Amino acid sequence: MGQQTSTFVAPPFAVPQIRVPLIAIRHGQTDWNAEGRLQGQRDIPLNDIGREQARRNGETLARHIGAGEGWDFVCSPLERAVETMQIVRRQLDIDPDAFALEKRIAEASFGDWEGFTMDELKVHDRAAYRSRKDDRWGARPPNGESYIMLAERVAPWLVSLDRPTVAVCHGGVIRVFRAMVEGDHPSLFDGPPTQEKIYVIENGTGRWV
């Protein structure tokens, strides 16, 4: 999709064509983020830092798309994403609650790992910890989802987009988006995607702004 350099390495899942501009915003920080805990689909609220991050990202978005006329707004149903979207929309001076919820862009479930830090998981279940280190895309937490499974969940939603879209979602979802437009490379797993910027996908390329 789009122009890709010779260094592009296809991710280990199908890559759908993203036909319209898509702006992805990761929810603001939660206390579990600050502690390095795997949240997955646990409904952890924003903390005050996260609310300020959402406000600044709303300001950035307003500079990029104005009041958002002609754009659809879609949000993960998890509380931290919903509150982020409400704050973002207030910065655009539009109805904070006029957006759609989309469960397909909820965070990957980490199953039995949710609530653990990686250091705790290393002690609690060393084999599981090692499997994640060895296969970041394919490793599946017990009773959870792998990143490949997450990509397969997200892809039909991406294919369905027919209007420019702002999506408030999660670190794992944005990691999948990035792999689809930037290719699979080790830096995708150098820490979670930032909560301080927005990720803009246009014409088959992605960039942070």
Closest CA to 84 of 69, 101, 67, 71: 101
Half-sphere exposure of 131 (CA within 13 A, CB side): 12
How many other CB atoms sit within 10 Å of the CB of residue 85?
26
Of 27, 83, 102, 114, which is the active-site residue? 27
How far CA 127 is from CA of 100, 117, 122, 130, 150, in Å, comes to 39, 15, 8, 5, 22
Of 83, 102, 107, 182, which is the active-site residue? 107
Cβ contacts of residue 130 below 8 Å, gap of 6+?
A: none
69 is catalytic: no
What is the Cα–Cα distance from 166 to 159, expressed in whole angstroms? 15
Closest CA to 23 of 189, 135, 181: 181
79 is catalytic: no
Pairing relationship of beta strands 165-169 and 72-75 according to DSSP bridges = parallel
**What tokens appear for 93 in the block?**
């001076």
Instruction: Assess contact for 22 and 161: CB atoms under 8 A.
Output: yes
Q: Is 9 helix (H, G, I), strand (E, B) or coil?
A: coil
- The residues annotated as belonging to the active site are 27, 107
